[in-house]
Amino acid sequence: MIRRITLENYMSHVRTAIEPAEGLTAIVGPNNCGKSAIVSALQTLCENTPGDFMVRHGCPEARVTVETDDGHVVSWRRRKRTVSYEIDGREVHRLGKGNVPDDLHELLRLPRVADADREFDVHFGHQKEPVFLIDRPGRDAAVFFASTSDAILLMRMQAAHEARVLEAKKSRRRARERIGDLDREISALDPVCEERARLEEADEELSRLVAAEDRAGRLEREVESLAGREGERAASDSRCRVLEDLGEPPDLGDDGALERLMGGLGVAAGRLDAVARRREILDDLEGPPDLADATGLERIVADLEERRAAVEESAAEVAGLDDLVAGSAEEIRAWASRNPTCPTCGAEIDAEALLGKGSDHGG
């Protein structure tokens, strides 16, 4: 018995695995969802169907694998134009068109029934053909039942089907009887239904009464609240009568001067606080020390003033000398410009060298 069917890249199936249940397995679904492809895959596995129509578009190969309840695994694979089988891990190649491995049908038990001049496919029914042998001549049915041992299986199938039909009829009869009993029980319960309707009406009336009672309670609380507010209204009326004799309040004058005065008071208060804080700090200070005799210090200051005046005078004399030196240097440069060679030795006169020697000499 087949336990698992796996289709890989077979027609519309990318990868589909089906595990048939015990007994009858039905595959249902809308049109063009791949139901017929499953039957085609089993036929391809059993007959090595020629052609490459089964390879899914754009895929390099297609594969169909069947696992049986006695532990066998059979795979059919088509890659381009090459077909191969794998049976329990054993590779089978070069079978030729329409040929299958010798032990394939021993494992799957799905062969065609063959006569001398014809074959009968008893395992696969085509979608657009009648039930097996119905559309065939009577002699084909006679040949089939006379030439195959599988006929006994069909007879057993027919007997099992008849038994199931008989059991279904009995179940239908029992169901009808049960329906009649239930109808009679339901009829006996009709008064209960009437009582239930009256009970539902009573429940609705009770709900209305409870709602009315709630509304009455709310109204009583509102009446009590209004009674309390009546006293408040009387007190308000008394206050109004007292206030009726009061005159209008006077007009307010210009309060700008008052605001400025208040602002000035605020500033004065801030200054007063600052003076108070300084006074608190000064209260903690000790009095100034007594001054010592400053006669010597005055003489020193006077001497320093005389010396400062002498330094300033000397600085003025030095500045005048610097101006004199600068003027002399300009005269020497002018003379050297007019007399480029020494009148004594004939050497070239360098004014800067003369000024440097003169400086060194003077130094």
CATH number of 94's domain: 3.40.50.300
Q: Structure tokens of 10?
A: 């077979």
Can you tell me the distance from the alpha carbon of 337 to that of 312, in angstroms, rounded to the nearest whole number?
A: 38
Residues 6+ apart with CB under 8 A from 355: 329, 332, 333
End-of-domain residue from the set 94, 111, 128: 111
Distance of CA 40 to CAs 37, 53, 85, 124, Å? Answer: 5, 11, 17, 9
Which of helix, strand or coil describes residue 4? strand
Q: Which residue has the tokens 């309060």?
A: 255
- Is the torsion defined by CA of 315, 316, 317, 323 positive or negative? positive
Residue 275 in domain: no
Can you tell me the distance from the alpha carbon of 172 to that of 167, in angstroms, rounded to the nearest whole number?
A: 9
Can you tell me the distance from the alpha carbon of 356 to that of 156, in angstroms, rounded to the nearest whole number?
A: 147
Residue 17, beta-bridge partner list = 6
Residue 268 in domain: no
Co-location of 6 and 100 in the same domain: yes
Residue 151 in domain: no
* Element containing residue 223 per DSSP (H, E): helix 190-243
> What's the number of domains the chain is made of?
3
Residue 20 in domain: yes
DSSP codes joined into one string, 109-120: --PPEE-SS-EE
Residue 304 in domain: yes
Residue 75 in domain: yes
End-of-domain residue from the set 66, 84, 111: 111
Count CB-CB contacts under 10 A for residue 43: 17
pLDDT computed for residue 151 by the predictor: 60
Can you tell me the distance from the alpha carbon of 39 to that of 46, in angstroms, rounded to the nearest whole number?
A: 11
Query: Which residue segment(s) compose the domain that 215 sits in?
Result: 200-232
**Mean pLDDT in consecutive groups of 10 residues from the start of the chain, 363 residues:** 93 94 84 90 90 92 94 93 92 83 87 69 70 69 62 72 89 92 84 81 89 89 81 79 72 69 73 78 71 74 83 82 79 79 76 62 37
Count CB-CB contacts under 10 A for residue 9: 20
Co-location of 107 and 22 in the same domain: yes
Q: Structure tokens of 355?
A: 């000024």
Co-location of 102 and 22 in the same domain: yes
Query: Which is nearest to 68 in space by CA: 1, 123, 7, 17?
Result: 1
Residue 224 in domain: yes
Task: State which amino acid sits at residue 317.
Answer: E
End-of-domain residue from the set 77, 111, 145: 111
Residue 81 in domain: yes
CA dihedral 150→151→154→156, nearest 10 degrees, is: -90
